[in-house]
Structure formats: C-alpha cells, structure tokens
Amino acid sequence: MKQYKNFIDGKLTDSRSGRTYENRNPANWDEIVGIFPKSNVDDLNTATEAARRAYKKWRFVPWPKRSEIMRKVAEIMLEKKEELATLMTREMGKVIKETRGDTQEGIDTALYASIEGRKYFGYTLPSELPNKSCMTRRDPLGVWGLITPWNFPIAIPTWKIFPCLLSGNTAVIKPATYTPACVGELAQILQEAGVPDGVLNVVYGGGGEIGEAIINHPDIVGVSFTGSSEIGKRIGEICGKTLKRCSLELGGKNGQVVLQDANLDLALEGVLWGAYGTTGQRCTATSRLILEAPIYDRFIEMLKKKAENLKLGNGLNEDCDVGPLVSESQRESVHAYVEIGKKEGAKMITGGEFYTEGECAKGWFYRPTIFIDVLPTMRIAQEEIFGPVLSVIKAKDFEEAIDILNGTVYGLSSSIYTNDLNRAHKAIERAETGIVYINAPTIGAECHLPFGGMKNTGNGHREGGWTAYEIFTEIKSVYIDYSGALQKAQIDTWD
C-alpha cells in the first residue's frame, strides 16, 4: 500500500482538506492499492496558479525541444511497462495482457508526440497583393483542465496530457477516483523526463468537488473530458457560458454486423473480444450484435459455447480472459440492466449473475451475459450498460442491419463482417459512427488516427492522431507586407 499526494508545482503535496480515501483492488476488495487525498477547491486553485505561472515560460519552449521530452517519456515508460501494467490491473481489474496494451498505447502516444513536435505544420498561402506573404501558425491557449475516466488509466490520460503539453499549454489533471494511481506514476515519469515544475499538476478527488471546480475556474481556458454523455452535456453547458474551449469524448452503443457471407469464425472471435474485453467497460465495447437472419441461430449457438468457456479471475493470472467490474456499484448497475432486459422480453441464454467462485469471491465479478431476440427499441439495445452484456438482434438483410446499427443516439464505433467488397464500402459510407471497422471488432483504435464519434458520443472534436492537437491550439493568421507602402486588401488592384 502506498500513500499518494497531490502533485503541484513539481512537488508532492498534502491536501489542505486533510481528508483521504482508499483505492482498492476490484478483484480482491481486501487489498488496498493506495491512500489518496480527497482534495478541495483550495488545492485546485493552488495547482491552477502553479500551471498559470509555468505557462509563461513553457509556451516559448520550441516545439522540437518539447518533443525531445516526449521521447524521453516514451523511453521511461517502456522501462516501466510491466510495473505500470501490474499497477493498472491491481487498481482497475482488467487482465494483464490488456493493461500491457494500455501502457503500450501510452508509449506509442508519446512516440507519436515526439514526431509531431518536429512537423506540426502551418500553411503558407499566396497573397492577393504583391510583395506580401501569408501564413498560419498554431499557438497554445493557456491552462487546461483534464478529467479522465477509470477504464484506461494510462492510455486516455496520455491522449490528453501529451498533446496538451507538447502544444505549449500547461495542465491540471483530475484522475478518476477508481484509478488514480496510474496518473500519479505517470506524472513522476514526466517530471523525470524533464517537464518543468508546474507544467503538469495532479489533483485527486471527486467529480462533484474537483471536477466542478475545474470547469468553473476562470483561469482554466479549456476542458478535456472523457466519460458519460450525461456529465459531458453538463460540462458543455458550463463551458459554453464563458466560451471555454471544451473537448468531450462520451458514450457509445456500438454494433457489430455479421452478414451471411462473412467468415463466421473470425466474426465470433471479434464479438467475444469486443463484448467481453475489459469486461465490457469500454466506450467502444461491442454492446449489440446484429446478425443477418440466415445465420442467426447458427451463430448464437457458436457464441454461447465460446462465451461460457471464458475464464474469469484476477487479472494478474496470465490465463484469465475476463477480470472484475471496477466497483460494486458498477456491478449493481450492470445487473440492473440485466433485470431490465428480462422484463422487456429479451431471452437471456447465458450469464446474468454474480460470479463468486474461488478467488473471485472477494471481487466484483459478473458472468459474460448474452440476450437474444432483442428488439432494437429495447433499453438494453439503446442505453450504454458498460459491462459484459451483449444484445443480439436479428436483421432480415443488409439494409435493415445498417438501419439497426444507426438506430441509437450514439455514434462512436461500428463493425461489419462481410466478404462482399461492395457492401463493405456501403457500410463505411452509411454508418453514422466516427470509427468503422471492416472484418474487425468495434475495439482496437490506434494512436495515430483520430478517435471520436458522432451524435451524443461527443461534440465533434477528436482525440488521437494529428487532430488531437487542434483542440489544444489556436490558429493564428499572419500577414507580412514587405512592399514599403500601404496596401489595402480588396480595395487596391494590381496592374
């Protein structure tokens, strides 16, 4: 067990509140991973002031110099990959092979940032007047508030921290209360790599206190948030009142379509990974399986057998397939949706109960669950469950499958399995999602591509890739007149 402190202005600092909370292992609730400060507004104000002071110098550090620090971050993370992955499994629960992947995504994001710092281009454009040039550049905005979720304790914080800092901003980050330790360790890595004091500050605490203080703070110029659509709407509303920059990455109700001409074995592997990887606790998790009618019964039989063979257990065991849910309340929420599905008339063919055998008795485990004969309008087919519950829906043909796929308020990720090239391209065109996979599950984003969705999944900004830097910078247009005379655009003519 480790005692953690806030990280403010380069120093580990006790909270002025004097309050603390325990972070426990969801696979074994008897194990305390760490003790964390339950911070208050005074702590947030101190961190924001430190970030504001640091911004005055950090913004003028050349992009390539900042990119060198990101390269060092990647190198340190690579050295500590197994250590970080083990910590993540202990505090979040997902299996070790996934937390290694989560950590690797953070490493890849740092490496990508180290490249982006040497090539973040502006535009050079022709002027309509002689002896005059035009160009654009991107400048930082100031102090950012970063609010991260618990399901990807390394990857998602790096998605926000690295482009934010590389762009010349400074930041205050509030990690998720269920998974605060990984961000604490990440902050130490950034300091070791050479990030100056005050550039990144970590304040632990709840969303109701620290989160609210971040979105309402007058010196915080932008907020980047990943979480539920309900909370995202509130953040967008508050930020809108003061024109604070706001990036929202929100919920999903992702569907995998399987057509009768598909490779069914491949599609089966995809849906098992998409639905039950991370115990279904991904915004891109496969929550709906849409099967073309001719293969409906056969595929369900294949799916049920495979799902029941998945091994549940402590994620540190290399042979486990599915870890626990992150908390008791999350397990109760998942189970409540299972009861809703039963009442709505869907047929549950496996799962639907707590798993308490052996070592799992002390954790928040839930059996992988499958509902069949689900109607597209049912709540379990419309609302984000965030757990190992899969709703199977029958479609008479390709056209109906796409209609069902698009028939939710979310639009994050979609998948279609088919060997028909024409239908694959039609699906790409018609899917109302920010991410489309062909013959692959709804999960598996890569750090150098934009990540985000449509509809209630966000407000149009994208994380990942070059687009992540757009939200953290402001475009500045520059005109250079070397004519030695006053030239009036759109008024003077050139002969």
Strands 413-417 and 454-455: unpaired
- Ordered alpha helix ranges (H), 133-263: 155-166, 181-193, 212-216, 229-241
| Buried residues in 137-167 as b, exposed as e (16+ CB within 10 A) | ebebbbbbbbbbbbbbbbbbbbbbbbbbbbb
164, 182, 283, 360: which one is catalytic? 283
Determine whether 249 is an active site residue.
yes
Q: For residue 156, give the amino acid letter.
A: I
* H or E stretch at 331: helix 328-344
Contact criterion met (CB below 8 Å) for 251 and 276:
no
Provide the 10 A C-beta neighbour count for residue 443. Answer: 21
Contact criterion met (CB below 8 Å) for 388 and 280:
yes
Tokens 């598996």 appear where? 444
Contact criterion met (CB below 8 Å) for 388 and 352:
no
Q: How far apart, in whole angstroms, are the C-alpha atoms of residue 84 and residue 311?
A: 24
Q: For residue 467, give the amino acid letter.
A: T
Phi, psi torsion values for 131, nearest 5 degrees: 55, 45
| Buried residues in 332-350 as b, exposed as e (16+ CB within 10 A) | eebbebbeebeeeebebbb
Q: How far apart, in whole angstroms, are the C-alpha atoms of residue 245 and residue 139?
A: 14
Strands 286-292 and 347-350: unpaired
Q: How far apart, in whole angstroms, are the C-alpha atoms of residue 474 and residue 89?
A: 38
Q: For residue 202, give the amino acid letter.
A: V
Q: How far apart, in whole angstroms, are the C-alpha atoms of residue 361 and residue 445?
A: 33
249, 292, 384, 463: which one is catalytic? 249
Determine whether 470 is an active site residue.
no
Q: Which of 57, 14, 13, 6 has its CA nearest to residue 170?
A: 57
Phi, psi torsion values for 276, nearest 5 degrees: -115, -10
Catalytic amino acids?
A: 249, 283
